[in-house]
Amino acid sequence: MPRSAAIRSAKALRLQRRLIRHYVPLGLLSGMAMIAIDLVLHPDGGKLERLVVASAYLGLILIGVTLLIGPLNLLRRRPNPLSNDLRRDVGIWAGLVSVAHMLFGLQWHYPWEPWKFFWDGSGTIPLRLDSFGQASYLGLGSILIVALLLTISNDRALRNLGRRRWKLLQRLNYVLLGLITLHAIVFIPTDERAQTYLFLVVGIIAVIVGGQIAGLVVWRRRMRVARQPAIPTTTTDDLA
């Protein structure tokens, strides 16, 4: 078989495995998670409103999972490569859910009038600076980072950018997590549901931060051990 044909065959097999092992389970689990989130947080709202809320928290959870895969590999003493298919596919799925959340939100709040999220046209500063506007700008920043991360979630981008630059861009995941957290907190309603929303956001962030800290501790410990000089062994010749 020619080399080019062998490469195409290997790529097709890899894609098939990713679809079966990652995307199908991710789709099923995401559907179940959205139903569970909807039942807990917002079972009495309109259909579009419920999709907005469920997709928002599912996106946050999925982004958290992408940030926990590395620490879990360290804690389980497994290889932790720069990029792997599982982390990449979860990240892609998180990005798609985030885009869906944005589209649902656009249609729920101001159908076909997206400028109203950022512009009110009144006063000396026509930008929308109330809590809704602040949350909208945070959401815009988040979706721009999501778009960038989706763009580099492939082998070609890794080759073209190089390991260092690719990893630097990939670390925008942490910025994304911060923006989404602020976006969610600002959007938390001021009614009896607020406590449940806040507990869920704080709980998700606590798990992510805890996992990152645990992974960092393990990594530093291993680096410390790796830098220690080897202890020379004593033989009978040394004692002679």
238, pLDDT greater than 60:
no
pLDDT score of 239: 30
List C-alpha distances in Å: 73 to 19, 154, 210, 212, 218: 22, 21, 15, 11, 10
List CB contacts of 107: < 8 A, sequence separation 6 or more: 48
Q: What is the largest CA-CA distance in the chain?
A: 93
The residue ranges of every structural domain in the chain are: 17-212
Q: pLDDT tens digits for 183-222?
A: 998 888 765 667 788 888 999 999 999 999 999 999 888 8
- Residue ranges of alpha helices (H) inside the chain are 3-18, 24-41, 47-75, 85-109, 131-151, 155-161, 163-170, 172-187, 194-227, 236-239
If you classify domain 17-212 with CATH, what class do you get?
A: mainly alpha
What share of the chain has pLDDT > 70, as a percent?
89
55, pLDDT greater than 50:
yes
Entry pTM: 0.86
Mean of pLDDT over the chain: 87
